[in-house]
């Protein structure tokens, strides 16, 4: 897996309510905000909305995230976010995961999907 960004929670009591940070790839470098969607009542709907934008511009919604549980390994039972962002300038959507790194930091990781 490749690390493409770092985020930090805005609210330490509920870290997944809002995460702010940056993601960087060869073609993309932007500020990102992942915020819980409290209005959704559909259990299949995304649990979070994803916004990008600099400090000088208004945030633009570019994607969604779903809260998931790690199923195995040392971090079994912990929550992570499965994130997808898309934009007309992209060749295809960018999907990545956001995992807790330490108490005040979350890391965005990307891995190319393997052919079945």
Is residue 78 within 8 Å of residue 72, measured between CB atoms? no
Given CA atoms 60, 66, 69, 70 in this order, what sign does their dihedral have? Answer: negative
Q: What is the pLDDT of residues 20-64, one digit of tens each?
A: 999 999 888 999 999 999 988 888 899 999 999 877 778 899 999
Alpha-carbon distance of 5 to 98, in angstroms, equals 9
Q: What is the pLDDT of residues 53-112, one digit of tens each?
A: 877 778 899 999 999 999 988 888 899 999 999 999 888 899 999 999 876 899 999 987
| pTM of the predicted structure, to 2 decimals | 0.89
Residue 13's CB: how many other CB atoms inside 10 A?
A: 6
Question: Residue holding tokens 């990008």?
Answer: 52
């Amino acid at each position: 897996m490749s690390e493409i960004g770092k985020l930090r929670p805005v609210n330490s009591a509920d870290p997944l309510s809002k995460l702010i940070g940056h993601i960087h790839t060869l073609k993309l470098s932007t500020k990102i905000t992942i915020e819980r969607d409290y209005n959704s009542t559909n259990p299949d709907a995304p649990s979070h909305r994803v916004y990008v934008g600099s400090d000088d511009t208004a945030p633009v919604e570019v994607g969604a995230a779903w809260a998931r549980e790690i199923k195995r390994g040392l971090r079994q039972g912990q929550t992570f976010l499965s994130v997808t962002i898309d934009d007309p300038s992209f060749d295809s959507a960018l999907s990545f995961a956001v995992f807790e790194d330490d108490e005040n930091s979350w890391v965005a990781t990307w891995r190319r999907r393997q052919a079945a």
